[in-house]
Each structure stands twice: as C-alpha cells, then as structure tokens.
C-alpha cells in the first residue's frame, strides 16, 4: 500500500478481511493510518425502476463482476461490454470517478455495515 506521503508500507491482514475507506490501521510503532478508497473510473446505473435494477444486478452478478449495491443504484468498474449490456436492458449508465467499494462476498464471513 502507499501512504499519502508516498511512503510504501506492507500490510498483513487476516485472510478474507477487506479494508474499506474509513477503516484505520495501527502500525507496529503505534501510528494510526486512515484507509481511503482510491478514486476509480466507475459506471453507475440509477433508476426508479427497481425491477430493471434488479435484472441488471442479476446479469452483472452472473458475470461475477465486483458490484457496489446502494439504494440509489449499482456501480461497477467501467467496462464497455457491461455498459452495453446494461443499456440493452433499458437502463442509463453514468460515468464518474469515485472510490469503489464493492459488496464483500456472501461467503466471506465478514459483515460490513455502513
């Protein structure tokens, strides 16, 4: 990992754990390091039509795509093939650069509450 200062640090985490923006790490010398999600190019799908959004989530999930699921809509890392599929379903795709924090796996054992 890289600190904002540019310093490279090595991080050993228990297997299956996921770092999220807002988490904090404690270094061996007692420093607290805040975790920030790196902004990435994401495709965002928003709709008032929950059925359409659910269908999109199903088709994206079928491709094992890391997916961020929120009340407002779905987000995934920009991919023109996926964008095309979502457009075919009748949804609109918005592009933005923002931190991307996908759902953790259903079988990971760790629960994430925001």
**87 contacts 93 by C-beta, under 8 angstroms:** yes
Question: Residue 9 above 70 pLDDT?
Answer: yes
Question: Residue 114 above 50 pLDDT?
Answer: no
Q: Which among 81, 90, 96 has a CA at the least distance from the CA of 47? A: 90
Q: What is the pTM of this model?
A: 0.68
Angle in degrees, CA 80, 83, 84, rounded to 5: 85
The domain ranges of the chain are 1-36, 39-99
From residue 83, how far is each of 5, 14, 15, 60, 94 by CA, in Å? 35, 35, 32, 10, 9
> How many Cα neighbours within 13 Å face the side chain of 73?
17
Q: Could you report the per-residue pLDDT of 17-54, keeping only the tens digit for each?
A: 677 777 888 888 888 888 877 789 999 999 999 999 99
Q: Per CATH, which fold does 39-99 belong to?
A: Alpha-Beta Plaits (3.30.70)
Which pLDDT score, from 0 to 100, does residue 6 have?
A: 78
Which pLDDT score, from 0 to 100, does residue 106 have?
A: 60
32 vs 35: CA distance, rounded Å: 10
Q: Mention every residue, 6+ apart, whose C-beta is less than 8 A from residue 27.
A: 9, 33
Q: Which among 66, 19, 13 has a CA at the least distance from the CA of 38? A: 19
């Amino acid at each position: 990992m890289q600190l904002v200062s540019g310093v490279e640090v090595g991080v050993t985490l228990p297997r299956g754990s996921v770092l999220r923006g807002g988490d904090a790490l404690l270094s061996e010398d007692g420093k607290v390091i805040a975790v920030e999600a790196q902004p990435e190019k994401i495709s965002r799908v928003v709709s008032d039509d929950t059925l359409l959004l659910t269908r999109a989530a199903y088709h994206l999930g079928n491709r094992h795509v890391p997916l961020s699921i929120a009340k407002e809509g779905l987000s995934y890392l920009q991919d023109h093939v996926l964008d095309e599929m979502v457009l075919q379903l009748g949804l609109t795709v918005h592009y933005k650069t923002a931190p991307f924090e996908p759902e953790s796996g259903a079988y990971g054992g760790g629960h994430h509450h925001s």
